[in-house]
Structure 1
Amino acid sequence: MVLNVNKISKNFGGIQALTDVSFSIKEGEVLGLIGPNGAGKTTMFNMITAMFPPSSGEISFKDDSLTGLKPHQITEKGICRTFQNIRLFADMTVHENVMVGNHCRLTTGVWRSVFRTKSQKQEEAAVNRKADEILEIVGLSEFKDSIAKNLSYGQQRRLEIGRALASDPQLILLDEPAAGMNEKETKDLFDLIKKIQSLNITVLLIEHDMPLVMKICDRIVVLNFGKKIAEGTPEEIRTNKEVIEAYLGVEEEDDIA
C-alpha cells in the first residue's frame, strides 16, 4: 500500500467534518474519493497534505507516519496535489510554472546560485529538460513560452497537473480536475490521468463527473456527511443502494391517511 488512512476524524469547533474514515491506496492504482458537496473530501486531502492535522487517527505513506510533518515535507516525501480552484503563477510562462514545481528537488544553495558554479548550471539545465519532458506529457509543449493566464481553462488545468508532476511524486492528489471542463477537455484529462498511471504514479481523485470516475477509477471510496459509506469497484459502487440514496435521495412514503 502507498497510503494508509486509519480512523481519521476531524472537527472544527462544533462541526464534525470527518468521522473514523479509513481506506488504503495500492501502488499504481487510481482511487476515486467521491460524495456529495460537504461530505469531507477536500478536508481529507488537506489532512493528507498537512494543510491541517487530523483530530484523531493516523495517516501513513509507505509505512512512514505523516504526523507532524509540514506541507513542504509531504511534497519531499513524494505526495503532491492540485486544488479545486486553479492556483498557477498567472504572470509567469508555462515553462516557468513547471520549473517551479521541481524546486523541492533542487540541491543548489544560495552561494552556488550567486556564483553560477558548474554544478548549479548543470542542475539548472536538468530542470529545464525536465520541464520540457513534462510539458510533452501534459500536451503543452507548443505553449511553453506563453503566459499562464493566457491559456484556456482546460490547458490551465493540465498545466497545474504538470507543475505537480515536476515534484517527482509517487502519489498525486487531483481535486476536481474536470470541474468546468467541456467534453473534449474531459477526454483529454482522461488520457492524461491514464498516462500518469502508466508512469507508475498512484492517483487519488476527487471528482463529481461520475462517467469519468466510473471509467477511470480502479476502486472508489464514498463519503457522506463525513463518514465512509461504501468502498469497492466502480460496478459495486454503481449498484450500491446507500450510494444511490446519498446522491439521488429517496422518496419518503406518504404517512398521511
Structure 2
Amino acid sequence: MTAVRITHIGGPTALIEVGGWRLLTDPTFDAPGRRYAFGWGTSSRKLVGPAVAVADLGPIDAVLLTHDHHSDNLDDAGRALLPSAGTVLTTVPGAGRLGGSARGLRAWDTTHLEAPGRPTIEVTATPCRHGPPGSHAIVGEVIGFALRWDGQEHGVLWISGDTVLYDGVREVADRLEVGTALLHLGGVQFPVTGPVRYSMTAAQAVETVGLVRPRTVVPVHYEGWKHFRQGRDAVEREFAGAPEDLRGRVRWLPIGAGVEIPA
C-alpha cells in the first residue's frame, strides 16, 4: 500500500481509508446553527454543517475519538452513529462514559485493529493538553492517535487531537517518525477566559511541523465553529513566513472530497 485516502468532512472530522479499512475521526454531523455549552461558562455556535451526511458515509470500521465531552468533537449525530462502528477508540474516562464497544487508551498505550483480509493497524495514543498548564482538571482528558501499518514508506499517520504545543507534543517528535499529520488547529478561545488558547495557534503549528517534520501536514479543526479563532487565512499567513522546507509540507484538502496521500 502506497497511499491513504483522506476525506476532510469538516471541523475535526475526517474519513481515513486504507487497505480496506474505513476509519472516522471525531464524528460531528449535526446541522449548523445550534449553540453548545462546553462547561465553566464556555459555549460556541456551530456555523457550518458536514460536507458528507451520515446517510452518505457508508460503513465505519472504527472511530478514533480524541475526546467525547466537547460537542465540536462529538455532537449528537456523531454520538448516534457510534453503535454502528465496529470499534471506538478514545480516552479511558471517555470509554467509561460511552460504554459499548468503546476502548479506552492512555497516552502511549497501543492497541490493534485486526480483520481478515486486511492489514493490521497498530494504534498508539499520543499525548494532548487541551489548554494552558493546569487546565487538565477543568478541560478533561484528550488523546491523539498514531496509526502504523505494513507498507508505510514515510512514517505513521498522526492525528494530533485538540492540543496546544507542549512537552507531550515534543515527545511525539522524539518518539515517532511521522509521514502524514492531521493537525487540529483553530487557536480556540472563549471570551470568559480571555487570551488563553485551547488548541494550536498558527504559530504553534509552524513550530510543531518544524519539530515533528511530517512529510505531509493536513490542517483540520480550523473552520465551522465560532470558537475557532484562526482559520485558513491565519494559518497560511503564518506558514508564508516559515522556512520554505516547512511551507511545502502543508496540504489543504478540499472539504468533502477524498484525496490520496502517499503513505
TM-score interval (norm. to shorter): 0.3 to 0.5
Output the TM-score relative to the length of structure 1. 0.34
Larger RCO: 1 or 2 (CA < 8 Å, sep 6+): 1
Bigger strand fraction: 2
**Larger Cα-atom Rg:** 1
Output the TM-score relative to the length of structure 2. 0.34
Bigger helix fraction: 1
